[in-house]
Chains A and B, each alone.
Chain A
Amino acid sequence: MSLAVRPEREIRPPAIQIRGVEKRFGDATAVAGIDLEIREGEFFSLLGPSGCGKTTLLRMMAGFETPTSGSVLIAGADMTAVPPYERPVNMMFQSYALFPHMNVADNVAFGLKQDKVPKAEIPKRVAEALDLVQMGDFAKRKPHQMSGGQRQRVALARCLVKRPKVVLLDEPLSALDKKLREKTQFELVNIQEKVGITFVMVTHDQEEAMTMSTRIAVMNAGRILQVGRPHEIYEYPTSRMVADFIGTANFFAGVVEDSQNGQVTFRAEGVAAPLVVAGNLAVGAHAAIMVRPEKIIMGREAPAGAINSVSGVVVEIAYLGDVSIYHVRLESGLVVLVTNANLRHSAEPAVTWDDRVHLSWHPGNAVLLP
């Protein structure tokens, strides 16, 4: 999991405002009431499983779908009923949608021609846009003569050349293979920073969202579960669903035993000792504690004086190269996942199957979820 946190900018005016937007197709509700504000210059991601409504939301920003209710504002102006060809946004399609009968230069020039940009200016702007995505040498190629990565760049240039207020990206990297995808992620971010245009990206790939975005909206079943910067979403999820969807998580369900000074003592099912975590909840409330596998310290000896300590037996080890994932079964039968970095070359892992181990974590590394 890469967790490069991009610097937060100063608060800038909103580029897109979504106000109480709902979208129904017949009986099916695709988007169930969303309020959202995306600020200028952001690289904003809509993240969620397929069918969560993220693409429909994006298409309502582009103008391909009309909200059943609510409104869509772009740069402060109400665009709810404005057709796509009159909106100051441009979309990069999942299939890239390059016009097969036009060469690269004509594809990029298409939008400028529609805007009646003076003829003399078009070649210059097309060349600029193609240089920006390093496709200057490919102007005369046809789409079918290029690789997936090259097509992706042309599609981006075609969006950027119109200098839109917002660029919408629908799963922009899903058609590329893994290696190229990782390289392209950084390129896209660099280009976005260079041009300073707001990017809104739809993706189902959490790593992609984490790496590229300034902020992420996690969506499920037509609603936004949480909006935040990547590390906020990962470290401080506000719901089980978000914690579960982003990365891997251990959950301990139980009841709040004591709550004082912003600290909660928690009685978890299947865990002998009480658990301590930062938080504020009424005594007796049902809740859950979430701990990420890499936040757990594992050892053969019980740590001295440690709170949040449990013990169990290693039942499964998944060796992934950089890390190994240990499945530790507690006496109650509850299985806890622990990630350990493989820091040294060694044929044998330090801890192996059937070993009895002690697990502990710092109270600040766990999250209390209502």
Chain B
Amino acid sequence: MRRSSSLITAMAFGYAFLYAPIVLLMVYSFNASREVSVWGGFSTKWYAELLDNDAYLNAAWLSLKIAATSATGALVLGTLAALVLVRFGRFSGRLLFNGLITAPLVMPEVILGLAMLLLFVALEDLIGWPDGRGFTTIAIAHTTIGMAYATVVVRSRLAQMDDSLEEAAMDLGARPAKVFFLITLPVIAPSLVAAWLLAFTLSLDDVVVAQFVSGPGSTTLPIEVFSSVRLGVSPQVNALGTIIVVVVAVIIGLATWLASRKKR
């Protein structure tokens, strides 16, 4: 199909728009000047400062722990939910279930955050759990949100899967539970990885919900970053952003390389 030059121009503009802030962020992370947008020579001092900043390091460690926990929870719950939606056909309560699982995708974060907080407060009032807010409450909130996204990813892969693969396994003598672990899970494995990474990223990136359900002493990395950039420009954040971009690029590059190698 012929693509007109105006279409190509529009695309180029779109990509430039998407990447210009990222490139600038990375360039200025090496800026010696504190004045982020004036070039004052090459320097890595902001990286050194960042690695010396205990508040950031502690927050990053907490965020990683929460992200790993909630992504794992979201993956398990999301996979079960996807199985229900793809394999169980019609059952009473399907409509509500489907509604509940897709709603978090389009629910404003402030509402999710407030709702979760009010639940935790009410629960604590009622049964004394959770005791205060922090790791557990953030992880539960992130699990719930991540679950909705994980379901979308796993669900579409499950729906594409050839039914007869599972039937063949049963036909060859495997019981349903065994079929699930020997056939279904390995076949949909790439989507499970994608779902886990998606939930992990969402958790690592969330500031709004975490702000609602975090407690004293449980500051996640986004909360830490948010409170420092609200006050103005901070070159350490440039350095942090650059590290994140590089890590993500490496992971995506690796995943693409693995996928292309597997195809051959």
Contact = CB atoms under 8 A, between A and B. Distances in A.
Contact of B164 (A95, A115, A162): A95
B169 A99 contact: yes
Contacts of A84: 167, 170-171
A110 B182 CA distance: 10
Nearest to B189: A101
B162 A97 contact: yes
Q: Looking at chain B, what size class is its interface with the partner chain?
A: 10 to 19
Interface string B15-48: 0000000000000000000000000000000000
A83 B169 CA distance: 12
A147 interface: no
A138 interface: no
Contacts of B174: 85, 110, 114
Contact of B169 (A89, A95, A110, A162): A110
A39 B189 CA distance: 43
B186 A97 contact: no
A106 B219 CA distance: 50
Contacts, number: 62
Contact of B168 (A83, A86, A93): A93
Interface in A95-119: 95, 97, 99-101, 110-111, 114-115
B99 interface: no
A85 B171 contact: yes
Listed residue (A83, A84, A86) with the most chain B CB atoms within 10 angstroms of its CB:
A84
B170 A90 contact: no
Contact of B172 (A64, A101, A158): A158
A94 interface: yes
B183 interface: yes
Listed residue (A114, A115, A158) with the most chain B CB atoms within 10 angstroms of its CB:
A114
Interface string B151-187: 0000000000010110111111111001000110011
Contacts of A63: 170-171
A63 B170 CA distance: 10
A87 B175 CA distance: 12
Interface of A: 62-64, 83-87, 89-91, 93-95, 97, 99-101, 110-111, 114-115, 158, 162
6 contacts: A63-B170, A93-B164, A99-B169, A101-B186, A111-B173, A115-B173
